[in-house]
């Protein structure tokens, strides 16, 4: 898999064919996908208003990668702070990471949405910041949605914003089956 920065450069390269720029955006989302791949993709396409015919608005791809990169920088700053803290803890003899920090190991997949079309609609960086703050405050994510603050239960995604309280390891086959046929239309940008 190519790196995020190299792929982001390709998305912004106006000299490349639009289709290649779209595939580079796909690489970026494979690297950083706060809602999971499909829901993050759907969010960016809608939010940047990427048209069915890419050449109608080639700059839309730049808007999409800008939004994703902005959120990724916030995530990375958090990760770097955490890694520095862990190094200090290890030096002080604390080998095991706290279980409360498990979410930091999810590679940025901090607000998994099993239904690709139901996810928060605010700018990605706003949601990623709020989710990080919710985790760091110690609020129980199985009771309070870490993305929107709604009261939730562990057995179903948040009814308001679609984020799964159980995180990326939640198994929701019924939702995947119900929504996966929509993916084709989303990928072709024939559906919003
Ligand atoms: Zn929510």
pLDDT in tens, 141-164: 999 999 999 999 999 999 999 999
| Residue whose tokens read 């979410």 | 103
Query: Helix 59-91 vs helix 4-12: angle between axes, to the nearest 10 degrees?
Result: 160
The CA 157 to ligand 1 mean position distance, Å, reads: 8
Classify residue 92: in a domain, yes or no.
yes
Radius of gyration for the alpha carbons in the chain, expressed in angstroms and rounded? 17
Classify residue 192: in a domain, yes or no.
no
**Residue 159: its pLDDT value, please?**
96
Give me 7's structure tokens: 């792929």
**Residues less than 5 Å from ion ligand 1, measured at CB:** 145, 147-148, 150, 158, 160-161, 163
**Residue 95: its pLDDT value, please?**
84
Torsion of CA 65, 33, 85, 2, to 10 degrees: -70
| Domain enclosing residue 133, as ranges | 4-187
Domain count for the chain: 1
Closest to 148 (Cα-Cα) out of 35, 33, 30: 35
Classify residue 176: in a domain, yes or no.
yes
The CA 165 to ligand 1 mean position distance, Å, reads: 8
The CA 101 to ligand 1 mean position distance, Å, reads: 21
One digit per residue, the tens of pLDDT, for the chain of length 192 reads: 579 999 999 999 999 999 999 999 999 999 999 999 999 999 999 999 999 999 999 999 999 999 999 999 999 999 999 999 999 999 999 888 888 888 888 888 999 999 999 999 999 999 999 999 999 998 899 999 999 999 999 999 999 999 999 988 888 888 988 888 899 899 999 876
């Amino acid at each position: 898999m190519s790196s995020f920065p190299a792929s982001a450069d390709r998305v912004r390269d106006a000299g490349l064919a639009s289709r290649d720029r779209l595939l580079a955006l796909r690489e970026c989302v494979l690297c950083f996908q706060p809602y999971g791949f499909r829901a993050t993709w759907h969010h960016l396409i809608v939010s940047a208003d990427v048209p069915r015919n890419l050449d109608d608005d080639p700059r839309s791809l730049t808007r999409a990668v800008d939004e994703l990169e902005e959120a990724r920088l916030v995530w990375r700053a958090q990760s770097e702070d955490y890694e520095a803290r862990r190094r200090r803890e290890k030096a002080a003899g604390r080998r095991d990471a706290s279980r409360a920090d498990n979410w930091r190991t999810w590679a940025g997949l901090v607000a998994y949405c099993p239904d690709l079309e139901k996810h928060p609609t605010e700018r990605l960086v706003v949601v990623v910041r709020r989710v990080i703050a919710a985790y760091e405050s110690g609020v129980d994510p199985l009771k309070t949605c870490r993305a929107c603050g709604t009261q939730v239960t562990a057995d179903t995604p948040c009814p308001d914003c679609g984020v799964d309280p159980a995180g990326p390891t939640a198994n929701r086959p019924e939702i995947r089956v119900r929504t996966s046929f929509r993916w084709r239309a989303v990928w072709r940008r024939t559906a919003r």
